[in-house]
DNA sequence: AGAAAGTCCTGATTGC
DNA sequence: TGCAATCAGGACTTTC
């Protein structure tokens, strides 16, 4: 599932492949992916536009066109790739941007959970899905004070809080578990019971985890590949996620998996005692 | 208003 | 073996 490091890796690899390419037409095979505007209006709007840049906010990709911004979320299994137009479509290809140079930008998504929103340039910040999005921990604008206030004012457990993109952007199920292991905080600990120091350590752990994962090109657990079809390498570094039953690399106790509001949650009962 | 549950999907895994 | 039920999960919408 692409989280911030995977989306960043996709952004970097995809940028080289699409910048300067002009859209001739779009094929939409699963219209629900296109949340806004209506698919036929979406098509009319982007035809003739050229890709100028790709930015990222949290787990969202922002494709800058001449006059519009395409906001794309990959959810669990979304993938982008650039192919010669003549090449046969891979399974689960739902949206195809046909370029004037006889190549395509193709969006594939086995579960069809991904979304695309199109905005006039500059308007994307004022509407869903970006309007409520918090800063990401590796951003220079991240406020530890605001983060601390939000965490300490919540009755929810820290696992849930860290998955909330209006509190901190970019973490998903894998990196929340890894961050809490590094911070030595139990996933069920309530936000209201965490000290300023706990929260600072959580923030620092998130930064360290995300930066390491970006350097490794992301984590491939199920099916993640970057825009050039390469897998990530960070799964070798995982300490708790998908390590149920294995020995903790710090203390040797057994990594335990529990469910926290429907999410698989991995932790070391000794290092992360509540 | 805040928090939990429901929703969207399909391939892989589990259970009988 | 074969089929059906269950699981995986991000973020929005709905419900409490």
A272 inside domain: no
Do A22 and A100 meet the contact criterion of CB atoms below 8 Å apart?
Answer: yes
pLDDT in tens, A10-37: 999 999 999 999 999 999 999 999 999 9
Same domain assignment for residues A110 and A186: no
> What's the pLDDT tens digit per position in A182-231?
999 999 999 999 999 999 999 999 999 999 999 987 777 766 677 777 77
Residues A12 and A116 in one domain: yes
Q: How far is the CA of A174 from the C1' of C15 (A)?
A: 29
Shared domain for A21 and A116, answered yes or no, is yes
Using CA atoms, how far residue A136 sits from A18, A163, A180, A234, in Å, is 25, 12, 16, 20
Nearest one of A124, A123, A126 to A115, comparing CA atoms: A124
The two tokens of residue A103 are 């190549």
Q: For residue A171, give every residue at least 6 positions away whose Cβ sits within 8 Å of its Cβ, in sequence order, or none.
A: A3, A4, A137, A162, A163, A179, A206, A210
DSSP state of A182: H
Residues A118 and A155 in one domain: no
A139 lies in some domain: no
Q: Check residue A235 and give its pLDDT.
A: 80
Q: Let me know: does A181 contact A208? Beta carbons within 8 Å.
A: no
Which bases of chain C come closer than 7 Å to a protein CB? Answer: 7-13
Residue A244 forms part of a structural domain: yes
pLDDT of the residue at A108: 95
DSSP codes joined into one string, A192-239 = GG--HHHHHHHHHHHHHHHHHHHHTT---SSS---TTSPPPSGGGG-S
**Using the CB atom, is residue A155 less than 7 Å from strand B?**
yes
A119 shares its domain with A176: no
Residue A83 CA to residue A103 CA, distance in Å, equals 6
Among the three residues A126, A156, A173, which one is the final residue of a domain in this structure?
A: A126
The total number of structural domains in chain A stands at 2
From first CA to last CA, the distance across chain A in angstroms is: 28
| Owner of token pair 């192919």 | A83
A111 is an annotated ligand-binding site residue:
yes
Query: Is-contact A75 A165, C-beta < 8 A?
Result: no
> Is position A43 within any domain?
yes
Q: Are residues A101 and A163 in the same domain?
A: no
Q: What is the pLDDT of residues A115-171, one digit of tens each?
A: 999 999 999 999 989 999 999 999 999 999 999 999 999 999 999 999 999 999 999
A163/A221 same-domain check: yes
Which domain does A221 fall in, by range?
144-267
A36 and A71 in a single domain? The answer is yes
**Which residues of A in 26-85 have their CB below 7 Å from strand C's atoms?**
58-60, 73, 75-76
Residue A88 has pLDDT above 80, yes or no: yes
Q: Are residues A103 and A190 in the same domain?
A: no
CATH number at residue A153: 1.10.8.50
The verdict on residue A134 lying in a domain is no
């Amino acid at each position: 599932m692409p989280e911030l490091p995977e989306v960043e890796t996709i952004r970097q690899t995809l940028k080289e492949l699409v910048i300067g390419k002009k859209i001739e037409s779009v094929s939409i095979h699963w219209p629900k992916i296109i949340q806004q505007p209506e698919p036929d209006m979406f098509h009319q709007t982007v035809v003739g536009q050229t890709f100028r840049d790709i930015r990222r906010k949290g787990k969202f990709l922002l494709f800058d066109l001449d006059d519009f911004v395409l906001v794309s979320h990959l959810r669990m299994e979304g993938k982008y790739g650039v192919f010669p137009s003549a090449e046969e479509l891979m399974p689960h290809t739902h949206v195809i941007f046909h370029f004037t140079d006889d190549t395509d930008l193709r969006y594939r998504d086995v579960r069809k959970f991904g979304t695309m929103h199109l905005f006039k340039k500059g308007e994307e910040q004022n509407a869903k899905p970006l309007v409520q999005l918090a800063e990401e921990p590796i951003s220079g604008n991240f406020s530890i004070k605001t983060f601390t206030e939000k965490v300490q004012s919540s009755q929810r457990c820290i696992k849930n809080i860290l998955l909330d993109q209006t509190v901190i952007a970019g973490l998903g199920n894998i990196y929340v578990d890894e961050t809490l292991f590094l911070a030595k905080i139990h996933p069920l600990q309530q936000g209201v019971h965490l000290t300023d120091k706990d929260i600072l350590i959580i923030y620092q752990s998130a930064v360290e985890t995300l930066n390491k994962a970006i350097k490794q090109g992301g984590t491939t657990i199920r099916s993640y590949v970057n825009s050039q079809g390469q897998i990530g390498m960070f799964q070798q570094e995982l300490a708790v996620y998908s390590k149920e039953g294995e020995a903790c690399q710090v203390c040797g106790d057994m990594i335990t998996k529990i469910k926290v509001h429907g999410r698989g949650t991995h932790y070391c009962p000794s290092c992360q005692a509540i």
